[in-house]
Amino acid sequence: MKEITVLTHRRPDDISAALRTLAERAAAAGAVLRLDPEETRKHALKPAPGLELNAEIKRDADLCVVLGGDGTILRALQSYAGTEVPVFAINYGQIGFLATVEPADLEDGIRRALEGDFELLKLPAIMVELPGGRHIAINDVAIHRKVGERVAELSYSLDHEEAGSVRCDGLVVATPAGSTGYNLANGGPVMAWGVAGFVVSFIAPHSMTARALVVAPGDRLTIRNRSPEALDVAVDGRPVGEIAGGASIAAWFIDDQATLAQLPGSSFYKRLRERFGRLAS
């Protein structure tokens, strides 16, 4: 590994020691850590061997190392969507479902990252088309009513065939990787990594019959806002726009959009047991 992008979460004090260790090990290995202007400012970094500061995100870096939780990991996966750059994440978040290693394994994790001692997992995404343009969601697209507004009425169709209409607070379209997030909180099904397709689930539906739906990968989803009020749209937790009253948006599955590093022997089911078993203990 010669050029490594580094992204960190919003609490720099929590990871300052880990960042120093990463910088020392990278310099010893002859690798350069690239930190963008935000990361440089956040950590008050000064020029040093092996550091390239105030560097813009380079789309052909050898690796992206994340020190943070799932939100930061998603930001990294978004930054490198459509490339072959793997994201190697050291978990400094609450759950870290997408993380490669835990902080207790920092030294070994850094060694593996620098040596390329990891496997690659390709992740699919959801493409959503809004009036202002297209956005890629690695985890999910969330549509929800604005604070203080009335309950939304949403209809949805698949390949021009209407599948239902629901009064609810919103709707979530999730990838398999994102199915353990907002979708799971809605009571939607967990989809194992490797499943081709996506899931549609509802936020606080005002119906006893509204059920989550797993959609085939080739089916195009159209969501119509039947409410007079506009609804907010977020991609991977970030606001990206809105659906005006009476308007529609489209979403569809796209395969192999991001690359996640994982250790040999790791599996989706092991992650599921360890991460959510931890919450239950």
Identify whether 105 is a catalytic site residue. Answer: no
Instruction: Map 251-268 to HEC letters.
Output: EEEEEEEEEEEECCCCCH
Choosing from 13, 14, 60, 70, the catalytic residue is 70
> In degrees, to the nearest 5, what angle opens at C-alpha 125 toward C-alphas 75 and 119?
75
Helix intervals (H) in the chain = 12-28, 37-42, 70-79, 106-115, 182-185, 268-280
For residues 178 and 190, what is the distance between their CA atoms, to the nearest angstrom? 9
| Beta strands 198-203; 170-174: pairing state | antiparallel
Helix (H, G, I), strand (E, B) or coil at 103: helix
Tell me which residues are annotated as active site.
70
